[in-house]
Amino acid sequence: MISGTLAFIARLISGATARWTAPLEPGRQRVFFANHTSHLDFIIIWSSLPPAMRAMTRPVAGSDYWGKGAMKRHLAKKVFNAILIERPSSGSGNAISAASQSIESIAAGMGDRHSIIVFPEGTRSLTGEVLPFKSGLFHLCRLKPDLELVPVYLANMNRILPKGEVLPVPLIGRVIIGAPMRFDPAEDKQAFLTRARGAMLALRDQ
């Protein structure tokens, strides 16, 4: 019930109605990957999904933000059923091993039935421009090559609640959910990330 109410409030604040450009078959394991400009992003995507799909979809969130404080931790663990990961802080010596640990904990969190929501830019964009993708999406796909990859484009979220602001302004956001794409094991990392980012950007003009 809490999750239904939260989903309703999130849709109310963002005014967002999801546009599905292609039908998604039920029961598949997939990765929703979206652009990231606002703390609202994953809640908005999560609330746009039909309730049955929403129940099977876990957002991936940084434990540095969502693991702090009893309230946030409760929301992340019990309501959103989030997979909390350590974000590798840039510059630290063991960033690479932390990153690969994160990918493994995401894969473990998915099991063989959960889908996830990720933001492959790794951080919130200040300008609203879509940043280059970090390689996490590629490494996850190498670990689980059968996943369906669904690009999601979020418009206006950076105006509703920009990075650094606490109070939202009630403008109308948009959620555009694209056609699923597949991982191709023959493709190299850069080509794959460019293709995935291109699929997301193509939704911008839909």
For 102, phi then psi, to 5°, come to -60, -45
Alpha-carbon gap, residue 127 to 163, rounded angstroms: 10
Choices 52-60, 98-106, 137-145, 157-165 (CB under 8 A): range interacting with another protein: 157-165
How many residues lie near another protein (CB under 8 A)?
A: 14
Q: Which listed residue (9, 95, 169, 201) binds another protein by CB under 8 A? A: 169
Figure out which of the listed residues 123, 170, 190, 201 binds another protein, where binding follows CB under 8 A. 170
Task: Kindly report the number of other CB atoms within 10 A of residue 55's CB atom.
Answer: 12
Residues 104-123 that bind another protein (CB under 8 A): none
Under the criterion CB under 8 A, does residue 39 sit at the interface with another protein?
A: no
Backbone angles phi, psi at 75, to 5 degrees: -55, -50
End-to-end alpha carbon distance in the chain = 33
Does 156 engage in binding with another protein (CB under 8 A)?
Answer: yes
From the list 96, 126, 191, 201, which residue makes contact with another protein (rule: CB under 8 A)? 126
Task: Please tell me whether residue 167 binds another protein under the rule CB under 8 A.
Answer: yes
**What span, in angstroms and rounded, lies between the C-alpha atoms of 89 and 50?**
35
Using CB under 8 A as the binding rule, whether residue 17 contacts another protein is answered as yes
Degrees to nearest 5, angle at CA 97 with 116 and 74: 40
Interacting residues with another protein (CB under 8 A) = 15, 17, 126-127, 156, 158-159, 162, 165, 167, 169-172
